[in-house]
Amino acid sequence: MKISDKWLRKHLDTNLSAEKMGVILTDIGLEVEGIEVYESVKGSLKGILVGQVLSCEQHPNADKLKVTKVHIHEAEPLQIVCGAPNVSTGQKVAVATLGSRIYLQNGDSFKIAKSKLRGELSEGMLCAEDELGLGEAHDGIMVLPDTYEVGRPLSDYINVEQDEVYEIGLTPNRTDAMSHYGVARDMQAYLSLNKIPSTFKKIETTPVKGKGKHDFKLEVENEDLVPRYFGAVISEVTVGESPDWLKHLLKAIGINPVNNVVDITNYILHSYGQPLHAFDAEKIKGHEIKVGLAAHGTKFRTLDGIERQLNGSEIMIKDSDHQPLCIAGILGGEASGVTSATTSVFLESAYFNPIAIRKAAKAHGLNTDASFRFERGVDPNLTKTVLLKAIDMVLELCGGKLKGDILEFSPKKIENFNLILRYSKIDQILGIKIHREAIKEILKSLDIQVMNDIRDGLEISVPPYRADVTREIDVIEEVLRIYGYNKVVSQEKIAFSPVGLALEDQDALENSWARVLQSHGFNEVMNNSLTPIKEGGTDVISLLNPLSKELSSLRQSLLEGLLQNADYNIKRKNQDIKFFEFGKIYFKKEKYEERKQLGILVSGNNHAENWMLSKSPTDFFILKGYVTLLLDKLGLDTQEKGLQDSRFIEGLEIVANGKTLARMGQVSKELLKNADVEQAAYYAEIEFETCQALRANSNFKFKDIPKFNKIRRDLALLVDKTVSYQQLLQASEQVSGYLKKVQLFDVYEGNNLPEGKKSYALSFELLSTEKTLEEAEITAIMNKLIKKYKQVFNAELRS
């Protein structure tokens, strides 16, 4: 937010420098990010002098150039080559002397230096209006009045406005400070407390009585949407340019002047924080103002020339035929705007429902100065006051006449918000004791009324324009802000007792897993929980007022975000991906649900090539190794199951106590294509909260060492692509005997296999607790397995 120093001093009379003001503003929470100098004429005409042309001769080597001798009260006249057609002897002209700088309209600039033009020396430049920023004329040099004294700076005759502009990084909650008046009020609170001489000029208006009558009528259809509405009819206005003082104030904060009527509304907006809107009164059909909703699908062309389709929830200003004139609090209509031909104005000042304004602004992708303030809540009790101020300005600057009475709708008084403020709470939060009278003085300076002194505190009343002050802690923050953060000193000695983290602490498990992954070369990422909306998803949680289509629903998986991270890195030549993320996913079932997960994504090479090791491409089993390493820390008995999941080409699920701990697999080609990732990727998600609930009280687990050796046998099976690992696992469980464990260690689809087939490589662990298995017994079990696979899946053995 830009704040003009000259404008600020219209509300606050103080001798403090702009630099000191900037320091104070930062101290009271209105952080000044920088102070810029505004010049109505770029460069402030430095080095531009009044000169007189003593002679003007044709250039010997150029038909369109002339060689002049120009007197600027130096010992010798300057020789300047000029190409202007209107230069002649005796003229008084604007001379850019050596070392001065000329600022062009496109933002470029250049320094005046000695030069030779077609062989003739030139020691300066005779300037046109546009070259000095004094106009747009470029058909010749600027000829000055004879009364100008030769050798004097041109700035002595042409007023150059200068201003210092504060760039304030305003937080969204500070609606009270979104104006020069609000900033001045905050400054005065600080200056008054610290006994620094200053005077705050409160807004003052006098009731005005209109001449004659008008036939305008006002109807507000919904007072919940429009608690306040005021309107005035001003006739016989002359629309034209604003006075220079007003144009310069607006330009200083980056607003281009339009005409005196529009400029007045902008002045009121940035001066007092209350948006106004001016209509051409004669374009309001039936001279009737209706404020309410318009029909869904109504077409309306706004001031920016865009035709918009209304959704039926926007507050609209309408005429007697219910035709829209303006999207209330956001943007006016093209057909009812003030133009140079306007002679009668309807001036509007209102307080609109902030939620309704925000919804409408987001729905149409509009962010105007008016909507920015209405969305956050303006001062409802200032609505009529600033309208009277605007009327005064229109009468003064536009020559208009107020017609009849002001139209008014304000059915209910908007009450202050009452709170109890405890001194003991202030002392506890701040760690210091502020004098009680100083607290009262700060509250008074912030328009917070002290109703009663009570035991250990105050009963206070907060004005409605302080929408961010609704709790006791908010008031304490206000007191500290004005008292001064820098006055709160920390104790030299701070005593505390270390508190040991219990095993049940979620951070302990999360930090432990993170350290393990980081030690294996992983990088942690954090992605936005908001994602594009999914078509056809019934369990998707969508936002009512999304900022954009790309941020319209809550994510249901960490995979998409991790794939975007992978795509970003791969496109920047970092193909070896090891990412993990702790985050929540969200679903809408019988009720809203959210779960915390750990997502792990690997792709590319497992480790970089070096002199000892060649490149080692990552695969599913490397991912599984990392997941197993993490789950082993839980001290649980886990089982593996095949997983059917559209996100994976092949998937595996790890369960314990009947609950899923992890899912993992090779990411499907469709998801990789959608993410623009052109290399294989492997993903695992671990249900963090389930692991947290099930993990054993001790990470140590003791088992008897088997007395007899385990036996391992492997099979490579050729099966149909429709057969899953889960089906093979379930079939193997039906084979009784000494089979203890089945693991999948390879899946292959591709060359040298029949069409529609794939290969599974399985390992089988056999063990007897009573004896060493003989080869005949082992062979018998393996034959049973092979027979089962052939019968059920028509499997073939691969050699």
- Tokens 């809540």 correspond to 377
Tell me if 550 is assigned to a ligand binding site: no
Q: Does 474 count as an annotated binding residue?
A: yes
The kind and range of the H/E element at 606 are: strand 605-607
Mean pLDDT, to the nearest integer, of 325-348? Answer: 93
- The string of pLDDT tens digits covering residues 347-406 is 999 999 999 999 999 889 889 999 999 998 899 999 999 999 999 999 999 988 999 999
Q: How far apart are CA 13 and CA 196, in angstroms?
A: 11
Residue 628: predicted pLDDT = 92
User: Residues near 658 by Cβ (< 8 Å), separated by ≥ 6?
Assistant: none
Distance, CA of 253 to CA of 758 (rounded, Å) = 69
- The whole-number pLDDT of residue 630 equals 92
**Strands 125-126, 92-96: pairing kind:** antiparallel
Cβ–Cβ under 8 Å, residues 187 and 7: no
Q: Is the pLDDT of residue 705 over 80?
A: no
Where does 317-459 have alpha helices with state H? 354-363, 369-376, 383-397, 423-430, 436-445
For helices 620-631 and 506-519, what crossing angle results, to 10°? 140
pLDDT at 448: 92
Percent of the chain past pLDDT 70, that is, above it, reads: 95
CA distance 234 to 344: 6
Cβ neighbors of 245 (< 8 A, separation 6 or more) are none
Q: Is the pLDDT of residue 534 over 70?
A: no
* Residues 247-254, mean pLDDT to the nearest whole number: 92
Cα 34 from Cα 20, distance rounded (Å): 12
Name the nearest CA neighbour of 577 among 683, 688, 686: 683
The model's confidence at residue 501, banded by pLDDT at 50, 70 and 90, is very low
Q: Is the pLDDT of residue 533 over 70?
A: no
Identity of the amino acid at 760: Y
Q: Which residue has the tokens 């004896």?
A: 771
Is 0.85 topped by the overall pTM?
no
**Residues 75-124: pLDDT tens digits?**
889 999 998 999 999 999 999 999 998 887 777 889 999 999 988 899 99
Cα end-to-end distance, the chain, whole Å = 75
Q: What's the confidence (pLDDT) of residue 67?
A: 93
**31 known member of a binding site:** no
Rounded CA separation 260/397 (Å): 7
DSSP 685-713: EEEHHHHHHH--S-S----PPPSS--EEE
Q: What is the mean pLDDT of residues 309-336?
A: 92
Burial 299-326 (b: 16+ CB within 10 A, else e): ebebeeeeebebeeebbbbbbeebbbbb
Question: Alpha-carbon distance 757 to 748, whole Å?
Answer: 9
Q: How confident is the model over 746-795, as pLDDT tens digits?
A: 888 877 888 888 888 888 888 888 888 888 888 888 888 888 888 888 88
What pLDDT score does 391 carry? 94
Residue 204 among known ligand-binding residues: no
Confidence of residue 318 (pLDDT cuts 50, 70, 90): very high
For the chain, list the domains and their CATH numbers: 2-40+162-200 (3.30.56.10), 42-156 (2.40.50.140), 217-409 (3.50.40.10), 420-486 (3.30.56.10), 506-694 (3.30.930.10), 711-797 (3.30.70.380)
- 186 pLDDT above the threshold of 60: yes
Q: What is the pLDDT of residues 597-629, one digit of tens each?
A: 999 999 998 876 666 667 778 888 899 999 999
Query: In the prediction, which pLDDT does 259 show?
Result: 93
Instruction: State residue 799's pLDDT score.
Output: 67
655: number of Cβ within 10 Å = 16
pLDDT-derived band at 505, boundaries 50, 70, 90: low
H or E stretch including 507?
Answer: helix 506-519
* Element holding 277 (H helix, E strand): strand 276-280
Kindly compute the dihedral angle of the four CA atoms of residues 606, 609, 610, 613, in this order, to the nearest 10 degrees.
Answer: 60
pLDDT computed for residue 503 by the predictor: 45
Q: Are 630 and 616 within 8 A, CB to CB?
A: no
